[in-house]
Each structure stands twice: as structure tokens, then as C-alpha cells.
Structure 1
Amino acid sequence: MNKLLYSTPMSLEGFTVVQNVASQATGTNLAMRVAGKRNMIQLGDILYLKSAKNYTIFKLKDGREIISSKTLRIFEEELLEISNFVRPHRSYIINLEFVDDLYFNCRGGEVLIHDQKIFISRRKAAEFRRSYRRYLRTTGQNVSSTIKLKTTIRVS
């Protein structure tokens, strides 16, 4: 009991430094281990993440693919807090910044990112639209004209 009363004093400076480093890492970069080395990936470079069973494949805008041994669900918890990442399908998380085209139909829809077609599931289509509109508003783009230009409804 006396040990608790007479614990060693700690400086608050260490805590603020750790908090600053943590906020920088989650704000613009994503830390991950690849082949035993710690890598920092800039969030603005990520086009999408693809699930491959117990692995996640990162597709970057420079064409590189990085494979991580973590599942997509682990990255989902980290990335979906950031407003421009959304999960349109159980196998993908996409960066809304790189959406080239959208198609909605009775089965959900499709997103085109750098010539890669990614399906939007039926049950996530409404949530995807809300997230995309929220993203357009935060970037200052006109929501109605952008949605009309990018969205075509095809009857299948």
C-alpha cells in the first residue's frame, strides 16, 4: 500500500510528445509492418484496400501494391474515422478522393477508381451515397451537379 502512495513522479512532457506523435500518425500517415520493417504510408496515396482472406492489399496511386498480414476489419476501424474512406463492399475500403465514376442500379452499384471497378453492395449503397455527399460538401464541391455528372442509373 505504501508503494502506491510514494510512486515516482513522471513528467507531463513525455505524454504530450507521445500524444503529438500519435495524432500525426493517424492524421496523415498509416504505420504498418511489411516484411519485418515499419513503413509509413501517406493516407492521400491510398486508392483502395482489398481483402484477400487474412491479408489486406493496399493499392497506391503510384501503382504499387503493399500486402499486410492484418485483416481489412483492423484497418476499417482506423480508416473509417477519417471522412474520405468508406467501405462500399465487404472486400474493399476506398478513398473517395480518387472516385472517377459512379453507377447505381438495383443491385447496389459500381465505383470506378483508376480503371478498377469496385462493386457497391445493395445494403451499403445508401450509406455510400451519404458518405460521398458528405465528402463532396467538405471538399467544397457542388453536390447535386457532381452526383448528376458522375452517376448514371442503368437498368439491368
Structure 2
Amino acid sequence: MSQQLHPAAPHHPPFFVPGADGADPMLVVMGILLIATVFWVGTLYWKLHSLPERMAHKSQKLQFEIVAVLGLISLFTHMHIFWVAGLLLAMIDLPDFGTPMRSIADSVERIADATPEAPALAPETEPAPAGYSDVRTPTKRGGHGHV
């Protein structure tokens, strides 16, 4: 049987039309494009998903760990509110309470570990100056005063 084209058919069909041998170049091109797009979207998704963790990486360790846990919870539960909470927490700079508390704890520990010193001796009493009397005498206002 001879391969003759229909008289209304173009003599040079476009590249995406399958040939007589069954090869379909358009299917191959679309398959490669689909696989590349899936990998690109997956990479974009992972970059976007790890955004709160990358933002919180420069912050305190506890804040970073909380953001990381919120990201994992959102990944496994598909509840995006956890991701949003992690993003908001990563954007907020929490005050550093740990350093002053650690300083206080170190100071208290040094005070507790300090060796007690010998008790201070009682100050010696000096004799009263001449003419000084401990007897109180009345003053003009009716109070008592020292002579």
C-alpha cells in the first residue's frame, strides 16, 4: 500500500503531528516540560515553606526552635495557620530575657559560694569628751537636751 497524502492535506505537516512511524515529539517535549515544572514548583514550595525558619535563624535559639516546630506541624497537618504563626513569630524580635537572668543567677551563685569572712569586731567605745554628761536637762521649749 503506498503512502499518499490526501489532496487537501498540507505537504509539510507541523512538527507536533505524529509521524507514520508512531513517534510523537510533542508528547516527549510536554513530558520533559511537565517533569521540569513539577521539580521547579516543588523547589519553590520548599523555599517558601522554609522562609520562617530562615528568617528566625538569626534570632534566639528558643525562638528558632519554636518556628521550626510550627513549620513541621504545618507541613504534616496541612494547616497553614501554623506556618503563618511561625512566620509572624520569626518577624518579631523577642527581648532577650535569658542574658540578664543568667547574669543574675551567676551573681547569686558567686555570692552563695563566697567564703564567709571573720565577723567584724565590735568598735571600741571611746571615752566621752570632757564636760559631756549623759544627763538630760530641760530646754526652753520643755524638751530635753544635752549639756
The TM-score, its normalising length taken from structure 2, stands at 0.24
Higher RCO (C-alpha 8 Å, min separation 6): 1
Greater strand content: 1
Greater helix content: 2
The TM-score, its normalising length taken from structure 1, stands at 0.23
